[in-house]
Structure 1
Amino acid sequence: MKTSLKPKYDMRLLFSCLFLVSFFNVFAQEETKPKIEPIVKIDSLYREDQFYFTVTYNLLAQIPKGFKQDKFSAGLSAGFLRDMPINKKRTVAVATGLGLSYQNFFQNITISKDQAGAIIYGVNDYNEFVSNKYRQYLVDVPIEFRWRNSTFDSYKFWRIYGGVKLSYVISSKSLLNDGETTYKIVNNPDINKFQYGAYISAGYNTWNVYMYYGLNPLFKDVKTVSGEKLDVTTMNIGLIFYIL
């Protein structure tokens, strides 16, 4: 007697159809999750607070007759400036900060001592001594007015900054070797401890030209052995780098 297999195959077909219907139904109901974009916060109240570093060639202005400089008189300074914008676009600001400076001068204004120990000054030819230099270390307080075409999303922009720098000499030393005697004078009392001047810097991005001109004399009321008053002021020309 033959057994019919039709009901068995019908059941398999039914279960297969139900499985496929269930699978496609679940797949169709699956929701696609929306892509989450990162939120970029726009800082409309940005500041150009900056560390600065300068490399300069040092000169003396208001020089006496016969004055000359020799070699490369280098200067270095570094510090931090706090930016305070004063317009809505934040392209105009004032800034102040604190820094340190090193200045070195190779020149022929000689500083020595007489037999009584008094400090004397002269302007000598280079063939009259072996070496002569003066160096000083200062604490600086720059106060500047700033213009730039910066935006909140760009660190590269044109700038013109200018202002005044107030400095205090924390250490100074002159060294003269006249071929017979070496005169070393540390913290010369005739040096103006408080020095100030005007400066300007201009450029694009990190690289900027820099110029400083001292407005008060380097020395107090002193004269050379020839009776000429020393009213020399300091002057620095070089580059200033701003780093955020």
Structure 2
Amino acid sequence: MRLFLGCFLFLSFFKGFSQGNEFSIDTLHIKIDSLYREDQFYSGVIYNSLLNQPADFSQNKISFGFSLGFLRDMPVNKSRTVAIAPGIGFAYNNYIQNLSITGTNQNPIYAIIPSKVNYDRNKFEQLLVEMPIEFRWRTSTPEIYKFWRIYGGFKLSYLLMDKSVYEDDQTKVKIKNNKDFNDLLYGAYISTGYNTINLYAYYGLNSLFKSTAKINNETIELQTLSIGLQFYIL
């Protein structure tokens, strides 16, 4: 009788434990299905080209950039395949070209370096805080982590720091916080791909320089076109 009673209690406990586990798994599945979000963090590597170039302007070597930030994914339909995602992040952009910037940060002087002039280095670089907002479409589900996506958006960028460097055999000029750089930049972008790796393109809608920046009394109106890869992480 004691053996029969012990077996009965053991089987009752095992059955209850199994039922408890099954209930917890179902509950967890429902919670994930109702609350999941996609692509909360992003990073990117890009090549920067410059448009609206003044006469005899040219880029040489690779002008690169990278970015890192966070986006708040907010699905707007029941299947969660469409979403809006505002965010914030940081970007670094480097431009290697033949537009020299000399003088001082309050009185910069711009000139195109003639092709016959030998120089060691000429570039300007910027550190910005980004404020993107994305409109998202994807083929994701709670169970599928590899999916197609098309994300398009608009981005505001605020200039935190800038530096230009010109160096040759006899001269080295370094300027920080140039008053002629635009503090606020804005543009449109698109990112599309499958799984982690996505093609990315950004078009700057305003000039890197204010109207006070001139060469031979002509305003410098350089705009950015960036192409590269964008990576998204949950």
- Letter of the aligned partner of 2:68 in structure 1? A
Percent of residue pairs identical: 50
CA contact (8 A) 2:57 2:97 kept: yes
Residues 1:125 and 2:114 aligned together: yes
Q: Paired residue for 2:4, among 10, 26, 36? A: 26
The equivalent residue for 1:146 is: 136
- Letter of the aligned partner of 2:160 in structure 1? I
Cα shift at 1:179: 3.1
The equivalent residue for 1:10 is: none
The equivalent residue for 1:223 is: 214
Residues 1:98 and 2:88 aligned together: yes
- Letter of the aligned partner of 1:183 in structure 2? V
Matched ranges for 1:199-214 at <5 A? 199-214=189-204
Cα shift at 1:142: 0.5
Kindly report the root-mean-square deviation, in angstroms, between the aligned alpha carbons of the 2 structures: 2.2
The equivalent residue for 1:15 is: none
Cα shift at 1:49: 4.9
1-structure distance, mates of 2:182, 2:151 = 27
CA contact (8 A) 2:43 2:67 kept: yes
Residues 1:183 and 2:173 aligned together: yes
Cα shift at 1:58: 1.2
- Letter of the aligned partner of 2:70 in structure 1? F
Cα shift at 1:83: 0.7
Residues 1:108 and 2:98 aligned together: yes
Cα shift at 1:46: 1.6
2-structure distance, mates of 1:157, 1:133 = 39
TM-score normalised by structure 1 residue count: 0.83
1-structure distance, mates of 2:107, 2:192 = 44
Describe the SS at the equivalent of 1:26.
helix
Describe the SS at the equivalent of 2:218.
coil
Cα shift at 1:198: 0.5
1-structure distance, mates of 2:210, 2:87 = 27
Q: Paired residue for 2:231, among 225, 229, 241? A: 241
1-structure distance, mates of 2:164, 2:37 = 41
Number of paired residues?
Answer: 219
2-structure distance, mates of 1:26, 1:140 = 71
- Letter of the aligned partner of 1:223 in structure 2? K
- Letter of the aligned partner of 2:4 in structure 1? V
Residues 1:155 and 2:145 aligned together: yes
1-structure distance, mates of 2:47, 2:193 = 18
CA contact (8 A) 2:39 2:232 kept: no
Instruction: Could you tell me which runs of 5 or more consecutive residues in structure 1 were left unpaired when the two chains were aligned.
Output: 1-21
Q: Paired residue for 1:197, among 187, 194, 207? A: 187
Which structure is larger by alpha-carbon Rg, 1 or 2?
Answer: 1
Instruction: Could you tell me which runs of 5 or more consecutive residues in structure 2 were left unpaired when the two chains were aligned.
Output: none
Q: Paired residue for 2:54, among 43, 49, 64? A: 64
Cα shift at 1:232: 0.4
- Letter of the aligned partner of 2:143 in structure 1? D
Cα shift at 1:183: 1.4
Q: Paired residue for 1:84, among 60, 74, 89? A: 74
Question: What does the per-residue CA deviation read over 1:77-106, in whole Å, with 9 as the maximum and x for residues that have no partner?
Answer: 100000111111111111111101111111
